[in-house]
Structures are given as structure tokens and as C-alpha cells.
Amino acid sequence: MRISPTKFISLLFLVLSVFYLYTAYNIQVFAFDENAPFNARTFPIYLGWAGIILSSLKIILPEKVTTEVNHKHLDYKSIIYLIVISLIYAAVILKIGYFISTSLFLFASYYFLGERRWGLMFILSFPFVAAFMYLLHGLLNIYLRDPFLKYIGVMG
């Protein structure tokens, strides 16, 4: 029996979604947020269930076109680079903060995926993360600890 690459990837995504949902239910929330309609674990729980449902559908439903993967044409080097910079990102986000670490992570991701337009890479990393940070911190009052922004006086 041979499993198609699409079904195999869907199975891996299902396992990842189940693990993510399990960890989402273990997110601690404040006592006053426990019965709130939206708290720190609401979106992760919905995201975990969406991943489980979509990956299960992909596994169960038949494929219209079978895909043959030629491993000689896959770019494993870029995959390894992305895994390494993801691990570096996870290691440094608490030390240097969300803004700088996420911006540098996006910038490096664009570079390793083949983008060489520096202006576009800059616009899609630093200002985009700044706008998202403003949305979280300024409008939604979701506090993200950021030593760099605290050091330059942007956040208190």
C-alpha cells in the first residue's frame, strides 16, 4: 500500500493540530477571564479544532488528482534554513522582544525563500510587525513584553 504525499502531510498536520489543541486547553487564564466569551485560550482552541477538521477532511475525502513528488526538485536547503531560523526565533523572542525578533525572523524568511528586493522585504517585515504590534497593544490592550520598545520609550 502506498500513501500519497498529500495524505501523509495531512496526517502529520492532524497530529500537530491535536497536540496544539491539547496545549491550547492548558493555557492559563486569569480568574476573572475564565468565563469571558473571549480569553487567551479561545482563539488557539478554535485554531486547533479548525486544523483537526480540515486535515481530517483532507485525509477522508478522495483525491481528484494524484501528485507524484520528484525529490530531486525539492529545495531541502531552504527548509533546513527555515527550521533553524524558527528555532533561533523561539530562543530569542523573550530576550530581545516581539518587535525586533519577529521583524528579523520575517526578513530572514523572505531572504531564504528567495526574495531579493530589499525594500519589499523591509516593508513586509518591520512596518508590518509595527502595525500588528500597535493593533495588539494599542487597540486590543494585549500586552506583549518587549524590552527593546521599552528601552526606547515606546512602551511602558
pLDDT at 31 over 80: no
From the list 134, 111, 137, 135, the residue with the least C-alpha distance to 124 is 111
Specify the amino acid at residue 18: V
Rounded CA-CA distance 146/128 in Å is 16
What confidence category does residue 89 fall into, taking pLDDT thresholds of 50, 70 and 90? Answer: very high
| DSSP line for 73-116 | GS-HHHHHHHHHHHHHHHHHHHHH-HHHHHHHHHHHHHHHTT--
**Each residue of 142-155: pLDDT tens digit?**
777 788 777 777 76
3-9, long-range: CB within 8 Å, 24+ apart, which pairs? 4/63, 4/66, 4/67, 5/67, 5/69, 6/58, 6/63, 6/67, 7/58, 7/59, 7/63
Least confident among 70-84, 86-100, 110-124, 132-146? 132-146
Compute the average pLDDT of residues 2-30: 88
Compute the average pLDDT of residues 7-16: 92
Radius of gyration of the chain (CA): 20
Least confident among 8-12, 72-76, 111-115, 142-146? 142-146
**Each residue of 108-124: pLDDT tens digit?**
999 999 899 999 999 99
pLDDT at 91 over 90: yes
Query: What pLDDT score was predicted for residue 126?
Result: 92
